[in-house]
Amino acid sequence: MIWLFIFWILGMIIGIFLIGLIFVLAVQNHERNKEKKKREMRIDCIKKSKGVIIETKQENSHTPLILTIEFQANQKTYQFDEKALLIVEKVKWKGIPVDKKEYYPFDVTVGSIVDIKYNPKDPHIAYIVDNVGAHTTVS
């Protein structure tokens, strides 16, 4: 009788672990699909322009910096939000990684001018050209 109870407990533990794993994989798949859709939308962004950073938002040091960019196209003003991505370089001493150097590839202060590309048919779809790097934040 005790063996049935032990097998039941093991089954519950394995079942909870599998449900948690499925949930984590589903969230990761959703994030990948969002990034893929974002990349596909950028294909149509062929017009170049200059934009101005009008607002920066960051809740704490562990969340990404969100930039609000304003630009003009077809005599109208448009805005879009984008995460500022970091460039992460590993500092090595005699081949051994000892530190990380993290910086933004462009000036992220309010009022800075950035190069952007936008979709001429739908100017709300736009992105910062120099925004390359990782999604990690400065800790």
- Kindly list the domain boundaries of the chain, sorted by start residue: 1-43, 46-128
Check: CB of residue 80 under 8 Å from CB of residue 124. Answer: yes
All residues at 6 or more sequence positions from 92 whose CB lies less than 8 Å from its CB, including other chains: 98
Mean pLDDT of 64-68: 87
pLDDT at residue 138 tops 60 = no
Q: Measured between alpha carbons, how far is 133 from 125 in angstroms, rounded to an integer? A: 20
pTM for the predicted model, two decimal places: 0.65
pLDDT at residue 18 tops 90 = yes
Q: Measured between alpha carbons, how far is 99 from 24 in angstroms, rounded to an integer? A: 30
pLDDT at residue 109 tops 50 = yes
Q: Show the tokens assigned to 68.
A: 């609000």
